[in-house]
Amino acid sequence: MANRDLHNMRESYDAFSLLEQDCDSNPFKQFDKWFQQAVAIDDLEPNAMQIATVGKDLKPTIRTVLLKSFDENGFIFFTNYDSTKGKQISENANVALLFWYRTHQRQIRIEGVASKTPKEENDSYFHSRPRDSQLAAFISEQSRVVESRAILDERFKQKEIELQNQEIPARENWGGFLIKPSLFEFWQGRENRLHDRIQYTKQANGIWEMERLMP
């Protein structure tokens, strides 16, 4: 194992700042602003987000998924409901999201509650995907053990032949989750590790309260 001096591995963050007067009072609009800026510079998969879930065993799990739509109702991604994350969300709907934009030296943290999206919305998105992606979702029993890559590839090829010239059906256990946020935190890297952190918390009356956090 290579012995690297991790103590001295650091970057200086000095490209941007985040001041209260520059923030939109609506965190969804602030998110859209940063998201569009990441898209404009062709940042690598700006819709990639980490989602953390915790099931009834209270053991947290985190992985990367792709955001597929968002508006002021919340943030949507799609998955197999029988996957680890799907099962954990069914046991505990509280989740956390994280977006990291390296070029702009930014991250966005979101906390909220997840719920399943309607079947018609699931089916519509499923059939908009590339055919190979539809087929992969159809044959995969996500998160289950498989003996080898060869078995997985063979299963894909068999279904590809079997369903040739047919519409690939969306499985009942495949669909979306809508995350309704209760908290946003916008983090902007700054010099000397005195980072800017602006947090929005949703109040009982539906108003978002904006506060600055210590770095």
- What are the residue numbers of the active site? 193
Yes or no: say if 87 and 173 are a contact pair by the CB < 8 Å rule.
no
Helix (H) or strand (E) holding 106: strand 106-116
CA 112 to chain centre: 12
CA angle 143, 147, 149 (to 5 degrees): 85
Take residue 152 and report the two structure tokens written for it: 């997985």
Take residue 12 and report the two structure tokens written for it: 């200086």
CA angle 136, 140, 141 (to 5 degrees): 165
Rounded distance between C-alpha atoms, residue 149 and residue 52, angstroms: 27
Radius of gyration of the chain (CA): 20
Give the CA distances from residue 208 to residues 91, 125, 197, in Å, rounded to whole numbers and listed in that order: 28, 31, 16
